[in-house]
Amino acid sequence: MALRPIFFDTETTGVKFDRDKIIELAAYDPVLDKTFCEFINPGVPIPREATNIHHITDDMVKEAPSFKDIGLKFLEFCQGDIVLIAHNGDTFDIPFMATEFKNAGLEFPSYPSIDSLKWSRKYRPDFPKHSLQFLREAFNIEANQAHRALDDVKILYAVFSQMTQDLSFETIIELLKGKKKIPDRMPFGKHQGKPLNDIPKTYIDWLVKNGALDKPENKELLEAFMKLDLIQA
């Protein structure tokens, strides 16, 4: 079964996951078209410098539930075979979530995850910067309220869709790990899942003409087509 993406983002009291707290958690499930957005009472004052970035104040979270309550709701939102996607997730959002779950006495499931910042740095070296807002501008995506969790999640979904197009999430994970093997089936598009030998020559020619096989993430697919003599070197 294909992985279902959950794009998510956190707003926090600071940048140290072993010291600071999550105060807002938001997520978007584009397959089920569902959103999740909750304030969290961190139990500590929010530093002014953090409020200056995300504009979340102590008054906004003073009546909010604890992380344990929100964590349980998030687990319900993420039921099924899902993949978590966050911008700078590997070094920020995922460690924050794991720490908060542990401190709340909850188990943080070992969901597969994708860091869109790492993807951008690896496969869009033509960009001088890789912040979410820079990528939004690069892809001509309409602005919204930056640095609030749900707004950032919606921007992330739009940006990531542009960067990866028809690639499966399984393929994206393998590419980021650097362990991509030569495929024997079509990984994307209208013939996704078909053996490469069964792909119409007209479709392969279309991929070549449109430069799809020139992309770094499709290097292994090009090699596979060449090995099968479906494309001449």
Same domain, 8 and 86: yes
Best-predicted range by mean pLDDT (67-81, 142-156, 179-193): 67-81
Q: Which domain holds residue 90?
A: 4-170
Pick 203 or 146 by higher pLDDT. Answer: 203
Same domain, 85 and 189: no
Number of domains in the chain: 2
Q: What is the spatial distance between Cα 31 and Cα 72, in angstroms, rounded to a whole number?
A: 21
pTM of the complete model = 0.78
Instruction: Decide if 65 is inside a domain.
Output: yes
Same domain, 166 and 211: no
Q: Are 36 and 25 in contact (CB under 8 A)?
A: yes
Residue 144 has pLDDT above 80, yes or no: no
Same domain, 128 and 104: yes
Same domain, 55 and 163: yes
Question: Could you give the strand order of the β-sheet that contains 113-115, starting from the edge strand earlier in sequence?
Answer: 34-39, 22-29, 4-12, 82-86, 113-115
Last residue of a domain, one of 135, 150, 170: 170
Instruction: Decide if 149 is inside a domain.
Output: yes
Average pLDDT, the chain: 92
- Give the domain CATH number at 157: 3.30.420.10
Instruction: Decide if 73 is inside a domain.
Output: yes
* Mean pLDDT to the nearest integer, 203-217: 89
Same domain, 32 and 145: yes
Same domain, 101 and 126: yes
pLDDT band at residue 145, thresholds of 50, 70 and 90? Answer: low
Same domain, 60 and 111: yes
Same domain, 92 and 148: yes
Identify the pLDDT of residue 148: 74
How large is the angle between the packed helices 67-77 and 94-103, nearest 10 degrees? 120
pLDDT band at residue 181, thresholds of 50, 70 and 90? Answer: low
Pick 151 or 75 by higher pLDDT. Answer: 75
Same domain, 99 and 197: no
Same domain, 8 and 114: yes
pLDDT band at residue 215, thresholds of 50, 70 and 90? Answer: confident
* Mean pLDDT to the nearest integer, 147-175: 89
Instruction: Decide if 18 is inside a domain.
Output: yes
Instruction: Decide if 233 is inside a domain.
Output: no
Q: What is the spatial distance between Cα 31 and Cα 183, in angstroms, rounded to a whole number?
A: 26
